[in-house]
Structure 1
Amino acid sequence: MTSLTSIWPLFSLRLSTPRLELRPLRDEDIPRYVDAALSGIHPPETMPFTFPWTDVPADELGRGTAEHVWRTRLLSRPGDWAIALGIWFEGELVGCQDMSAKNFAVRRTVSTGSWLKQAVQGRGLGNEMRTAVALYAFDHLHAVAAESDAAAWNAASLGVSASVGYVPNGVYCGEARRGEAVDMQRLRLTPGTFRRPYWALGVEGHDAVASFLELPSTPADVTPTPSPALSAEVTP
């Protein structure tokens, strides 16, 4: 019988750290993903995301979340791709780590964005999940840089990024909520600034992913021009 992973090889991917498992979200994961988001990600008076997707009624958030997950699949093809990795902690889905790329064969750069529900923030999980995707990007995808951004006021998120090795890469003016301007800090991580952990990353299913996305099989010998990240981090 044909398996789902043979149809959509990205579902084969599994990343494991000492406390977390990261794997692409399947349709059956979406309700738990929505429940995690509805449990609270940030105080209502603030908006850490570049798009205010949490500022909607519960039923709209559910539909919007499902559309986001499905959209990442539609965007995934050789060269240009997006993967929404669910974050599992102690058997519970607690957040998401997005990783995407544009013209990856040339630029060798990934963009990342993430969130964790408030109930598990402050335990170092943000560092662990971001470190996991950095290890995967550099050691398996042969990326030369990872880019992201965060609201300039979000000291907690910026601190987590710094702990991984991200460095400031310019500021731009964003609009987190309609009519509300906010300075956004661009961030960039390279193998030279990356603070490697003491632990090794567990990786399953990479060969299927690499074949499906036609990923480069050797390290790059050029450094791409930095570009704005696609989504913000909010994982203190």
Structure 2
Amino acid sequence: MTLTDYLPAYRLRLRTDRLELRLPDLDDLVALADEAAAGVHGPDFMPFLVPWTECEPVERGRRTLLHQMGVIAGITPERWMLPLVVLHDGKVIGMQEVGATDFKATREAHTGSWLGLAHHGQGFGTEMRAAVLEFVFTGLGADFALSASFEGNGPSEGVSRKLGYKADGIDHKVLNGVRRQDNRWRLTRADWEANRKHEVAIEGLDAEVLASLGLDGAEA
């Protein structure tokens, strides 16, 4: 038996012109922790609801590694999150999450991501989100994809608008005792197809992977 026999989602590979996305092995997790330790965002804006980056570099890396391990351990057909590492030229540069609850019924997935600071401003954020959008719409048969970004997070909002998302209302969150506006974004299948610019290859999406995400082959 191999890892993929026990956790079929490890067979998945998403490939774009420049990037590969996959579930992380232990070496990938260490590389991801190193990226987190080196910095994920500037000091003047906290983009995350849980301020996990507000600590010393080694602790930031440790939190990253342990969190991703826990997310992988929590994958079930009814509720799943795939914390995919993003590789460029064979090097881990960040992570792209995609997940859903009761996807078989809702046909709705949500995403989140971050990149190491050294890799900002190169179009990777758009390309890696496009990869998981192709996965959920074409691979899994989604009807909608959701995202959110705090007011003032221009790069994240820019990615959403570029890929065809529409504004979907706001929420208010409290971060370190301060109210923050969280802008919701929704992408329909029609808008995805109208704004689809990146070619994405989906590898390893077989019947066992679909079953692990709550689907069978006829439903995707």
TM bin, normalised by shorter chain, reads over 0.9
SS of equivalent residue, structure 1 residue 52? coil
What's the offset of the Cα at 1:204? 1.2
Does 2:200 match 1:210? no
Q: Cα 1:144–1:219, aligned 2, differ >3 Å: closer, same or farther? A: farther
Mapping of 1:169-208 within 5 angstroms? 169-176=168-175, 178-194=176-192, 195-197=195-197, 199-207=198-206, 208=208
SS of equivalent residue, structure 1 residue 200? coil
Fraction of identical pairs, as percent: 36
Q: Cα 1:189–1:216, aligned 2, differ >3 Å: closer, same or farther? A: farther
Paired with 1:155 and 1:200, the residues of 2 have a C-alpha distance of 25
Q: Which amino acid aligns with 2:172?
A: C
What's the offset of the Cα at 1:219? 5.9
- The match for 1:125 is 124
The answer to whether the Cα contact below 8 Å between 1:142 and 1:218 also exists between their aligned partners in 2 is: no
The answer to whether the Cα contact below 8 Å between 2:36 and 2:61 also exists between their aligned partners in 1 is: no
Paired with 1:69 and 1:88, the residues of 2 have a C-alpha distance of 16
Q: Deviations over 1:79-104 (max 9, x none)?
A: 21111000001221000000111111
**Structure 2 stretches lacking a partner, 5+ long:** none
Measured on the aligned residues, the alpha-carbon RMSD in Å equals 1.5
SS of equivalent residue, structure 1 residue 133? helix
SS of equivalent residue, structure 1 residue 193? helix
SS of equivalent residue, structure 2 residue 190? coil
Give TM-score scaled by structure 2 length. 0.93
What's the offset of the Cα at 1:218? 4.6
Give TM-score scaled by structure 1 length. 0.87
Query: Which contiguous aligned blocks of 4+ residues in structure 1 show a shift greater than 6 angstroms?
Result: none
**Structure 1 stretches lacking a partner, 5+ long:** 221-236
Higher helix share: 2
Paired with 1:169 and 1:216, the residues of 2 have a C-alpha distance of 30
- The match for 1:23 is 22
Q: Cα 1:80–1:68, aligned 2, differ >3 Å: closer, same or farther? A: same
**RCO comparison, higher one (Cα < 8 Å, 6+):** 1
The answer to whether the Cα contact below 8 Å between 2:24 and 2:84 also exists between their aligned partners in 1 is: yes
